[in-house]
Structure 1
Amino acid sequence: MLSGPGEEALAGAFRISSVEKVRKQRGRYFIYREGQEEPVLSVHEDMLIRFRLLKDAWVTEEDLRLIETEDGRHRAYSQAIAYLGAKPRTRKEIERYLARKELDEETIRETADRLESERLIDDADYAKIFTSQRAGSHAKGRMLIRQELIQRGIGKSEAAEAIEAIDPDMEREAAIKAAVKRWPSLKGELRERRRKLAQFLTRRGYPSGVVREALKTVATSQEDNDGLDWLDN
């Protein structure tokens, strides 16, 4: 920052005429340039203190670019932290969210890198927790869970590792529970009801072997089981 009026002759330098709070934006301030009615920029109060942006202080064009860059980083990080406050997120979800805020790619990348270094986002841990929840209380099969992980930006190797950790017994029990709950609401002849149930379980991402076991539990008679051969195809 420039400190005295003797520097005024430097190209692009200006003196701050006033600093005012931004209404409805907590912690942000408008910086006004001498001779102009409109603010030259708005900054967070942390930038105000860091760069000593007080009335009568002098600012060069180089200072201004640095302040804008640092304020953008601060804004991106604060927005990302707020977004993470609702629930865990993947790196890709953070990047998409910040892109919607019209932040530049470099700032977004730097923010995501910082969050990873601080362990505030961890795609591998996210994949494991997400998979456990979906396979358990949400009664979803491994194929659908894998698809959901990929959609959230989890890498294929991390998604595969998380899927491999699913307990086969837990998955089978969840599928059977879902099948038993769904069965009474299905309409039609017995074979049609079985087909609808199989389609329901398949849509939830269960492998054909798990679907077969769930159907056998619901269709307990030998006559019922005779109609399951189509699942082998």
Structure 2
Amino acid sequence: MPKISRITTQKKHNDRYNIFLDDGKGERYGFSVDEAVLIEYRLRKQMDLDEATIDALIRQDTRHKNYTLAINFLSYRMRTKKEINDYLVQKEVDEEQITHIMNKLSTEGLIDDRQFADTFVRTRLNTSSKGPKLVEQELRQKGVDGILAGEAVAVYTFDIQFEKAMKLAEKKLTAGPVKAFRQKIQQLQGTLMQKGFSGDVVQAVTAELQDHQDDDTEWEALVKQGEKLLRKHQQKLSGIKLEQKLKEALYRKGFTIDLINRFLDENREA
């Protein structure tokens, strides 16, 4: 039966040890183990090791290395169970060891999808302009159960959603190219829905924004769009045909008929 003839520390990994064996035919390298395995099995010089024990030590060390992989992956941020499982599969850890590692991490409180969901939602609430539907979708993509995800985003009350959606909407209204106010509102509705806000919140925000329309700004936007269209079409069209073309184009852009007629009156050829 082989005996441990020597135990040495690895040069690049101070927490790992090389185990050398001697079965009476001279010393040979046997295997390596982590410090935790060395202590758990009380490995020492002149200790007898049969083949079954050696195999068990190697399996335990492999399991410990894979567990350490998971711990390192967790060290950067919280992870869901699915993220940990997918990572270990990617690292080609066998299914039996993954099950053991996942159970151990759960028992130690290192993975908890409910805690992950609550923390994730609080972070999104404080640092992003996303609404609850989009945040819930993100949680589901990370493997959080639908019920847990729904419970976590319940912190997005109507008032909180309204405040975040209004802040985003006001920012969008003042940014981007000059457009008709009605067109901007329509685009805002789509943007807010895409951001994950509820339909009731989107409706409330856009209704509130109706009072924000500035007549002078709207006129300036129409003039800019109208003059651009005029330059584009006046070389090929004139008279009624030109006016009809401008009227149709400006109406599609969201301007009112009254403003369009005013622009046409001011630019009608004498």
1:126 is aligned to: 116
| Equivalent pair of 2:5/2:27 in contact (CA under 8 Å) | no
Structure index of larger Rg: 2
> What amino acid maps onto 1:213 in structure 2?
A
Work out which of the residue numbers 182, 198, 204 in structure 1 matches 2:189.
198
1:16 aligns to 2:15 (yes or no): no
Corresponding residue of 1:28: 16
SS of the equivalent of 2:189 reads: helix
For residues 127-171 of structure 1, give each alpha carbon's deviation from its aligned partner in whole angstroms, at most 9, with x where no partner exists: 122223323431211211111111111111211222334322111
Contact 1:187–1:193 (8 Å) recurs in 2 = no
Q: Relative to structure 1, is the Cα distance of residues 15 and 220 closer, same or farther in structure 2, using a 3 angstrom cutoff?
A: same
Shift of 1:20: 2.6
Deviations 1:44-100, CA, capped at 9 Å, x for gaps: 012122223334433222112211222233223333333323222211122222233
For the structure 1 residues 26 and 102, does the alpha-carbon distance in structure 2 shift closer, same or farther, using more than 3 Å as the test?
Answer: farther
**Aligned match of 2:207 in 193, 212, 216?**
216
**Counterpart-to-counterpart distance in 2, 1:38 and 1:183:** 75
Give structure 2 stretches of 5+ with no counterpart: 216-253, 255-270
Amino acid at match of 1:105: E
Deviates further, 187-196 or 137-146:
187-196
Match of 1:110 in 2: 100
Structure 1 match to 2:57: 67
Q: Which amino acid in structure 2 is aligned with residue 15 of structure 1?
A: K
Quick one: distance in 2 between partners of 1:132 and 1:177? Answer: 18
TM-score relative to the length of structure 1? 0.78
Cα-to-partner distance string for 1:4-31 (whole Å, 9 max, x where unaligned)? xxxx2xxxxx333433322322401222
Partner of 1:5: none
Matched, 1:189 2:196: no
Matches of 2:187 and 2:30 in 1, distance apart?
64
SS of residue paired to 2:4: strand
Alignment match, 2:37: 47
CA RMSD across the alignment? 2.7
| SS at 2:99 equivalent | helix
Task: Find the partner of 2:70 among 80, 101, 108.
Answer: 80
Residue 18 of structure 1 aligns to a residue in which SS? strand
AA aligned opposite 1:182: K
Go from structure 1 to structure 2 and tell me whether the alpha carbon gap of 1:182 and 1:124 turns closer, same or farther (over 3 Å shift). Answer: same
Taking CA–CA contacts closer than 8 Å with sequence separation of 6 or more, which of the two structures ends up with the larger relative contact order?
1
Q: Name the structure 2 match of 1:230.
A: none
- Counterpart of 1:25, as a letter, is H
- 2:128 is matched with 138
**Aligned positions of 1:163-174 closer than 5 A:** 163-174=153-164
| Cα distance in 1 between the residues matched to 2:26 and 2:142 | 46
Percent identity over the alignment is 33
Q: Which moved more, 1:95-104 or 1:121-130?
A: 95-104
